[in-house]
Chain A
Amino acid sequence: MEFAFTAEQQMIGETARSWFAQAATSARTRAAMAGDGMDAALWSGFCRELGLSGVALPEHRSGAGLGLVELAIIAEAAGAQVAAMPLLGHAVVARAIAAGGSDAQQAHWLPRLIGGETLAAAALDAEVTADDDALTGSARLVPHGGNAGLFLVSRTNQAWLVPAGAGVTAHTPVTMDQTRPLATITLNAAAAEPLADSAAALATAQTTGWVVLAAEGLGVAQAALDRTVAYAKDRVQFGRAIGSFQAYKHRLADMMIAIEQARSAVYWAACAMDEGSDEAVLALHAAKSFAADTAFKCAADMIQLHGGIGFTWEHDAHLFFKRARSLQTMMGSGAWHREQVARMVLGDVA
């Protein structure tokens, strides 16, 4: 038992944090927001220069053979910069293929996804009908769906891979979080190949998504606190740094108290999954709900504690705030995740 990062994990964290801080700048993120919501150069740099796109994928498929702890470390670093890149869809789809794809599906898709040649998005719970190997219908609210070349489409417990092309159209409405636009995908007899083991693929898609979202939330929350702390030292009113007022510093302390718990939650869940612990599912529900709520609390406090400047478009506070809001709802609200925990501890009484 040692609930601390190994030297290798620390190194991955330092590398990822400094890379995102340098590459995913506010200016570049804003350029992506004004465009299609994706910083294409950032994503290609992530896959090719940084080489972390294969982190939780098998080595014999060009992956790094590491686990969800390492994926969480990277997602946390990406969240801290509200990076406009499709890490969520990539991790969810690639790990789903690794878990439930046939040998041929893995051999074909994983190297392309890891190398950044193909970009994937998850269209879960789609309203589609299947006619042989052709899907017709639609999926809403697909993160970075407008940028994807490959979709993981699911309906109840069936899953298919659908390459972008004939019969596939994407429409991206104006999305509140412009760093992760939510597209509507329409399928019209689109060519689809069923995954060899849909159940395994979808279970992995779900747990991977929860880990990525929870870790992003942790990164958002910590960055919101760090930036607010810097402002509290710098901004002077009534002849004092505003961080010297108890009403202000106690609110910062409350942010840190929540963040430390979110940090325990995220890495407990990731590590419990990696170790196959019987606590893992409870840990995932705990992590997703707690970290997303913490992200929102901290981003909201960031706006309040910055005063008027925090309400402007020019300041980055709204990037954190909008990402946090999206994290709270995506892949199950906090109330839904807590209800799953309630079922586990109360048994079948409702």
Chain B
Amino acid sequence: MKLGFSAADEAFRAECADWLQGQMAGEFADIKGITKLTAKPERRREWEQQLAEHGWACIGWPKAWGGRDATLAQQVIFAEEYARADVPGRVNHIGVELAGPTILAFGSDEQKQRFLPGIAAGKTIWCQGFSEPNAGSDLASVRTRARLDGEEWVVNGQKIWTSLAHISDWIFVVTRSEEGSAGPKGLTFLMMNLHQPGIEVRPIRQINGDAEFNETFFTDARCPADSLIGAVGDGWRIAMGLLAFERGVSTLGQQMGFRNELDGIIAAAKANGAAQDPLIRQRIAQAEIGLRLMRYGALRMLSQTDHSAIGGAALTYKIQWASWRRSLGELAMDVLGQAGEVSAHADYEWDMLPNLFLYSRADTIYGGTNQIQRNLIAERGLGMPREPRGQA
């Protein structure tokens, strides 16, 4: 067991920090510190390309596909320095962390040639088409239909909660390709170009006034016959394989964002006197402890060498961070007091802490609700009987 980083790793950290901080002080100073994923989309695309040009777009990928074959420690360091330098979130997070690794793991050589260079170059932005109005927690009940029409798949249906679809280029879609099938059988995983007449993207305004999510409508949308990953009917296996990549190193970068939020609360509490309230002090300490334990939980999960089973740290990670952050939002408002309920902006826009309070209600819902997480933990982690299924 070893928590410290080697001298070579520390040198790598200095290199990352130097480059990232230089960018945020120079050419990309105008995007430094942006927390909204939807702000300045054109500049955010340019930032993706800048990362790529300097070899930082996908350091965990193999060298052959534009990555650096970075070690786990190096990926951890890059994620931490990225957030520490106040660099805004990646608009191509889904491409780099989910689409790319899925294509690397399950795609054909031809598909790798076709899709990976665009992601590695920061030029094609991806989004995820999983959920539907009637397939939320119960993802296997998707109804979006795909049928082969000669050399093309024709897709009809509706996806929802497609984050950043309005600024993306490509979407991966879980479709029902076998007429009359139900549940996880008969599904096919397709990759589709969003820029076509058969696809319409409509933003959904959220609790905080922003619109990061969308509804995506498919009306005779088309893609070539070889756009599927895996085989026809293999969609569920590919989708589940993709979701496993969500527990990757990028979680550590996300935690640095949480660090900024907690630091904001600490600063506000010191400024307005809330820091003298013993109950607030206990809650700030709890939040600090929770954040540290999240980091070490993630390091434990990433250090796991036996990947045949999901370890306890990995299985509990989602509900852990989501619940922590939702509580953090509540703490933020208790620290700010009523002053936190008025905005200095002309529109319905919120600074970091009130926005945290509103936005964090989504954390315990998307990516598997807390209720679904508890089912998964009890069933997969503790061997409890599975929930009974109704008739489809």
Enumerate chain A interface residues (CB-CB to B < 8 A).
1-6, 9, 69, 225, 229, 232-233, 240-241, 243-244, 246, 249-250, 252-254, 256-257, 259-261, 263-265, 267-268, 271-272, 275, 277, 279, 282-283, 285-286, 289-290, 335, 338-339, 341-342, 345-347, 349-350
Are A349 and B316 neighbours in the complex by a CB distance under 8 Å? no
User: What are 18 A-B contacts defined by CB distance under 8 Å?
Assistant: A3-B1, A4-B1, A4-B303, A225-B382, A241-B385, A246-B375, A249-B374, A253-B319, A253-B377, A253-B382, A257-B316, A257-B320, A261-B293, A261-B316, A277-B3, A286-B293, A339-B285, A342-B282
How far, in angstroms, from A250 to B379 measured CA to CA in the complex?
10
Task: Check A282–B305 contact: CB distance below 8 A.
Answer: no
CB nearest neighbor in B for A334? B282
> CB-CB < 8 A to B381: which residues of A?
253, 256
B93-101, B210-218, B269-277, B348-356: which lies at the A interface? B269-277
Q: What are the 10 A-B residue pairs with the smallest beta carbon separation, nearest first?
A: A249-B378, A338-B285, A244-B385, A253-B374, A253-B377, A341-B285, A342-B281, A264-B296, A3-B299, A4-B303
User: Chain B, 153-169, contact with A by CB distance < 8 Å: what is the 0/1 string?
Assistant: 00000000000000000
CB B270 to nearest CB in A, in angstroms, measures 6
> Provided the pairs A1-B76, A346-B269, A350-B281 are in contact, do residues A256 and B377 lie with their beta carbons within 8 angstroms?
yes
B3 and A272 contacting across the interface, CB-CB below 8 Å: yes
Separation in Å of the B318 CB from the closest CB of chain A? 10
Closest to B377 in A: A253
Decide yes or no: A2 and B289 within 8 Å by CB, A249-B384, A346-B284 being known contacts: no
Residues of B within 8 A of A225 (CB): 382
Min CB distance A178 to B, Å, is: 30
With A261-B297, A264-B300 already in contact, the answer to whether A232 and B384 are too (CB < 8 A) is: yes
CB-nearest residue of chain B relative to A277?
A: B3
Q: Given the complex of chains A and B, what is the CA–CA distance between A1 and B270 in angstroms?
A: 34
Q: Taking the complex as formed, is B141 at the interface, i.e. its CB lies under 8 A from any CB of chain A? A: no
Does the CB pair A350–B292 fall under 8 Å?
Answer: no
Q: Which residues of A sit under 8 angstroms from B72, Cβ to Cβ?
A: 1
Closest to B319 in A: A257
Residues of A within 8 A of B316 (CB): 256-257, 260-261
The complex places the Cα of A2 from the Cα of B299 at a distance, in Å, of: 8
Is the pair A252, B384 in contact by a Cβ cutoff of 8 Å? yes
Interface centre among A5, A253, A259, A263 (most CB of B within 10 A): A253
Check: B30 CB closer than 8 A to any chain A CB.
Answer: no
Q: 1/0 per residue B276-317: CB within 8 Å of A?
A: 101001101110111011001101101111000000110110
- Residues of chain B within 8 A of A339, CB atoms compared: 278, 281-282, 285
Verify B320–A338 contact, CB threshold 8 A. Answer: no
Q: Is B4 interfacial (CB 8 A cutoff)? A: yes
Once the chains bind, are A1 and B288 in contact (CB under 8 Å)?
no
Q: Which B residues lie at the A interface, using CB under 8 A?
A: 1-6, 9, 72-73, 76, 266, 269-270, 275-276, 278, 281-282, 284-286, 288-290, 292-293, 296-297, 299-300, 302-305, 312-313, 315-316, 319-320, 371, 373-375, 377-379, 381-385, 387
B281, B304, B371 pick with most chain A CB within 10 angstroms: B281
| A2-B312 Cα distance, complex, nearest whole Å | 17
Set of chain A residues within 8 Å of B288, measured between Cβ atoms: 282, 341-342, 345
Q: How far is the CB of A2 from chain B (nearest CB, A)?
A: 5
Task: State in angstroms the CA–CA spacing of A13 and B126 once bound together.
Answer: 45
Known contacts A2-B1, A257-B320, A257-B377; A346 and B297 CB within 8 A of each other:
no
B275/A349 in contact, CB under 8 A? yes
Residues of B within 8 A of A69 (CB): 1
Contact in complex: A250, B289 (CB < 8 Å): no
> Which chain A positions have C-beta within 8 A of B375?
246, 249-250, 253
Q: Contacts A6-B1, A243-B385 given: A345-B285 contact, CB under 8 Å?
A: yes
The reply to whether B9 and A1 form a contact with Cβ atoms under 8 Å apart is: yes
User: In the complex, how many angstroms separate the beta carbon of A279 from the nearest chain B beta carbon?
Assistant: 8
**A residues less than 8 Å from B387 (CB atoms):** 246
A264 CB contacts on chain B under 8 angstroms: 293, 296-297, 300, 313
Given contacts A2-B2, A346-B269, contact A253 B305 (CB under 8 A): no
Q: Are the C-beta atoms of B285 and A261 separated by less than 8 Å?
A: no
- With a CB–CB cut-off of 8 A, which chain B residues contact A277? 3-4
Q: For the complex, give the distance between the alpha carbons of A5 and B312 in Å.
A: 15
* The one of B6, B292, B312 that contacts A286, using a Cβ cutoff of 8 Å: B292
Is the CB–CB distance between B285 and A342 below 8 Å? yes
Q: CB distance A350 to B1 under 8 Å?
A: no
Cβ contact within 8 Å between B382 and A286: no
* Complex interface: chain B residues within 8 A of A2 (CB): 1-2, 303
Partner of B73, one of A1, A249, A268, A345: A1
Q: Which of A250, A263, A275 contacts B378 (CB 8 A)?
A: A250
Nearest Cβ on chain B to A98's Cβ, whole angstroms = 21
- In whole angstroms, what is the CA distance A249 to B320 when docked? 17
CA distance A345 to B263 in the complex (A): 9
A292→B387 CA distance, assembly (Å):
32
Q: Which A residue sits closest to B76, measured CB to CB?
A: A1
